[in-house]
Amino acid sequence: MHIAYKTDAGRQREINEDSILVDQGKGIFLLADGLGGHQAGEVASALCVNEIHRYLREKIDRITLKEVPNLLIEAVVHAHKTIKVKSMSDPKLLGMGTTIVALLIKDHDAYICHAGDSRAYIIRDGIKQITKDHTYTGHLENDIMLKELYSRTRSPILSQAVGTVMKIEPEINHIGLKAGDIILICSDGLTDMLSDEEISEITLRHENKINEAADMLVNEANNRGGRDNISVILIKA
């Protein structure tokens, strides 16, 4: 397995509120995109990946494959509760939250748990988005208030995020990995700048040097304007 990852503040943000944590030995790959304004998002995303990593490391060696999905959900819920408590302890952090994509690879199986609009893709005979964006954008036509808010912000409104909703409902996906498969985890700083086809083309052009692929994805997103923080994790089976 070949791993590469990179995070960058982008061209228009002073602070990088994305957080990445990679534990190749345990097969744990985490990416979070913080929400909540100046520094609060940075705190939320870092706390999220660290808490999930700690939770998984304590239990991963004692569970079966059948138990992995529940373990991932438990870890995300644990991070959610931790962030909510932390946000209430400091007025500067009130309302902070984060997206999360938590990938656990065990044997030849990949389990992805996510909340928010950070994404996981698989590149195998083309590119396919594994995760579903947890946003209200698809309901805009039927909700006048949401439509009005979107028209002002031009930003998707998250229906799920760690730390910001009353009850977190993470989504689980499972994929059996084949030799040559590439899994990409990324924040919306990448997908807002590049199409899925462009992401696939850049990745496959550099698939034999996966570090170069990660660099080129971030560089190209910056070349297009780099409006947000950009983070990628690439795993080639």
Task: For residue 112, give the amino acid letter.
Answer: I
Side-chain-facing half-sphere of 134: CA atoms under 13 Å? 22
Q: Domain range for residue 189?
A: 2-236
The pLDDT, as a whole number, for residue 107 is 87
Provide the pLDDT confidence category of residue 156 given band limits of 50, 70 and 90.
low
CA 102 to chain centroid: 7
Q: Give pLDDT tens digits for 178-204.
A: 999 999 999 999 999 999 999 999 999
Q: How many helices (H) and strands (E) does the chain have?
A: 6, 11
Instruction: Give residue 155's pLDDT.
Output: 57
For residues 114-131, average pLDDT: 96
- Give pLDDT tens digits for 3-16: 999 999 999 998 99
**pLDDT for 205-216, tens place per residue?**
999 999 999 999
Tens-digit pLDDT profile for residues 33-84: 999 665 799 999 999 999 999 999 999 999 999 999 999 999 999 999 999 9
**Token duo for residue 220:** 């190209």
Q: What is the DSSP letter of 181?
A: -
- Domains in the chain: how many in total? 1
Of 138 and 31, which is predicted with more confidence? 31
Q: What is d(CA 225, CA 221) in angstroms, rounded to the nearest whole number?
A: 7
Residue predicted with more confidence, 174 or 145: 174
- Asked if residue 153 has pLDDT above 70, the reply is no
In 3D, which of 94, 111, 93, 90 has the Cα closest to residue 102?
111
Res 151: pLDDT: 45
Q: How confident is the model at residue 28 (pLDDT cuts 50, 70, 90)?
A: very high
Task: Reply yes or no on whether the pLDDT at 144 is more than 70.
Answer: no
CATH code, domain carrying 37: 3.60.40.10
H-type alpha helices, the chain: 40-59, 68-89, 144-153, 188-191, 196-205, 210-223
DSSP-derived letter for residue 116 is S
How far is it, in rounded angstroms, from Cα 76 to Cα 50? 11
pLDDT given at position 38: 59
Q: How confident is the model at residue 125 (pLDDT cuts 50, 70, 90)?
A: very high
